[in-house]
Amino acid sequence: MELLTSGMAVVFRPGMLLMVVVAVFLGTLFGALPGVSGTMAVTLGIPFTYSMNATDAIVFLVAIYCASITGGGMTAILFKIPGVPSSAPTTYDGYPMAQRGEAGKALGMQLICSAVGGIFAALCMLFLSPQLTQAALSFGPAELFAISFMGLSILTSLDTDNICRTIISGMLGLLMACIGLDPLLGVPRLTFGTRFLNSGIEMIPVMIGFFAVTEVLKQTYKPAKLKAVGSDTQSGKLSAELPSLKEFLSVKWVVLRCSVVGDPLRRVNTNDNTPAMLHLRMVPGDRISITVAPKGAGSENMSSLRMMTPAATADQIVDYVVQAVETAGSNPCPPVVVGVGIGGNFEGCALLAKRALCRDTSSGNPDPFYRELEKRMLERINQTGIGPQGFGGRVTALAVNIEAGATHIASLPVAVNICCHVNRHAVRTI
């Protein structure tokens, strides 16, 4: 607490506050320039610290670094050109908002969320530094490899429409990372005999090439001037209106991942993860069983339903289930658990598939016929070679659970509900 008090006394001096304001301005300017990363912004700010004492210099450089990370989101939102590499995800939502004439709201949300994240990170560093230090020192080759593998596995969810293109881009990134001197052996790799490649290829030029140059070419190709679109911006002018307090409060918990919106098109977050999807079923007895199954939309979006003809055979149903898993590919984060509903009506069949996921993966269907069908489906799915996280292998699914129900004589609905390997669910009876 004494260190915290002394630190605040240093920062809140009038002279230091003025330097922090100047540092924030410079950091925001550097961060908004594509190609100037947070590290480079700190490097450019070092000459300003030559006449400062150590404490003032550290505060000045930290302010530049934090502001540069925030400033990188400006060009990401306005031009789809991230100023710093960490602002690349901001282009996904910020740039479409700018095209709709909501650039001010996008910038305001980015600024507020950046401030909240920065304050939270500072508090974590303040109270958790000893624990984080111990965790960092315990990292060895195995842990570093696991983190690298997790980073590569994220590629499978970046572009769900063209996973092949995403994998190729990732492989090109790994290839470029191999250029230069080997960090362990000091042996030149892929330098083709030129000393200019000994230091490798820096991330900043690559980011500028992939984001900035491509966006400039797109804008150059368009024959008409880019205008904002939307019902509230018929004049084509961008709005500089910042988000109101009510708008920010409506999404305040989104930062902590509140995942439910009250309307599918207006997309207003309910901020409390409600309402839940409830299903009731009358069963014999005097007890109530409650099953809870939290599930994300990444795997839920890969579900499908087909109204087959009564003449469809078991082999055709197996083919359809395997096809659904193949179409999903790496999107549901395999290895997956597959719930299959057969029978019922349109909505009842989907509920059967959902109920199948709530069964234990080690418990087969009590009916020998469907238990054998589950084994056939699981074998066929694992023969697809999709593998964990889509990187290939013999384990694409951990289990296939089938639930069947009565249906109309002229109908044969089949539903497939896919869940990732976590497949969380719990049952309590009261």
169-178 confidence digits (pLDDT tens): 778 888 888 8
Are 17 and 11 contacting, i.e. CB atoms less than 8 angstroms apart? yes
**Could you count the other beta carbons within 10 Å of the beta carbon of residue 281?**
8
Report the CATH number that the domain containing residue 325 is assigned in CATH: 3.30.1330
Q: Is residue 179 part of a domain?
A: no
Are residues 207 and 94 part of one domain? yes
Q: Is 91 helix (H, G, I), strand (E, B) or coil?
A: helix
Are residues 99 and 6 part of one domain? yes
Are residues 355 and 209 part of one domain? no
Instruction: Give residues with Cβ within 8 angstroms of 375, minimum separation 6.
Output: 364, 400
Instruction: Give residues with Cβ within 8 angstroms of 409, minimum separation 6.
Output: 310
Residue with tokens 């302010």: 63
Question: Minimal CA–CA distance to 76: which of 62, 87, 60, 65?
Answer: 87
Residue with tokens 């939290």: 294
Q: Is residue 262 part of a domain?
A: no
Average pLDDT of span 398-411: 94
Q: Is residue 367 part of a domain?
A: yes
User: Could you give the count of Cα atoms lying within 13 Å of 68 in the half-sphere of its Cβ?
Assistant: 26
Are residues 86 and 217 part of one domain? yes
Least confidently predicted of 64-68, 111-115, 239-243, 398-402: 239-243
What was the pLDDT predicted at 226?
Answer: 44
pLDDT tens readout for residues 14-65: 888 888 888 888 888 887 776 666 777 788 788 888 888 887 888 888 888 8
Counted domains in the chain: 2
- pLDDT category at 231 given cuts 50, 70, 90 is very low
Are residues 208 and 343 part of one domain? no
Q: Is residue 246 part of a domain?
A: no
Amino acid at 396: T
183, two tokens:
């960090």
pLDDT tens readout for residues 235-251: 445 555 666 666 666 66
What was the pLDDT predicted at 409?
Answer: 94
Are residues 328 and 207 part of one domain? no
Amino acid at 79: F
Bridge partners of 36, per DSSP, are none
Question: Minimal CA–CA distance to 396: which of 334, 319, 303, 327?
Answer: 334
Are residues 212 and 107 part of one domain? yes
What was the pLDDT predicted at 413?
Answer: 96
The domain of 321 spans 290-429
CA distance 306 to 311: 14
Q: Is residue 234 part of a domain?
A: no
State which H helix or E strand residue 345 sits in: none
Q: Is residue 229 part of a domain?
A: no
CA distance 63 to 19: 9
Residue ending a domain, among 172, 187, 221, is 221
CA distance 243 to 84: 24
3-state percent breakdown (helix, strand, coil) of the chain, nearest 5: 55, 10, 35
Are residues 73 and 206 part of one domain? yes
Are residues 331 and 208 part of one domain? no
Are residues 206 and 58 part of one domain? yes
Phi, psi of 290 (to 5 degrees): -115, 125
CA distance 168 to 166: 5
Amino acid at 398: L
Can you say whether the dihedral through the CA atoms of 320, 322, 326, 330 is positive or negative?
positive
What was the pLDDT predicted at 224?
Answer: 47
Are 61 and 46 contacting, i.e. CB atoms less than 8 angstroms apart? yes
Q: Is residue 385 part of a domain?
A: yes
Q: Is residue 248 part of a domain?
A: no
What was the pLDDT predicted at 181?
Answer: 79
**Could you count the other beta carbons within 10 Å of the beta carbon of residue 28?**
21
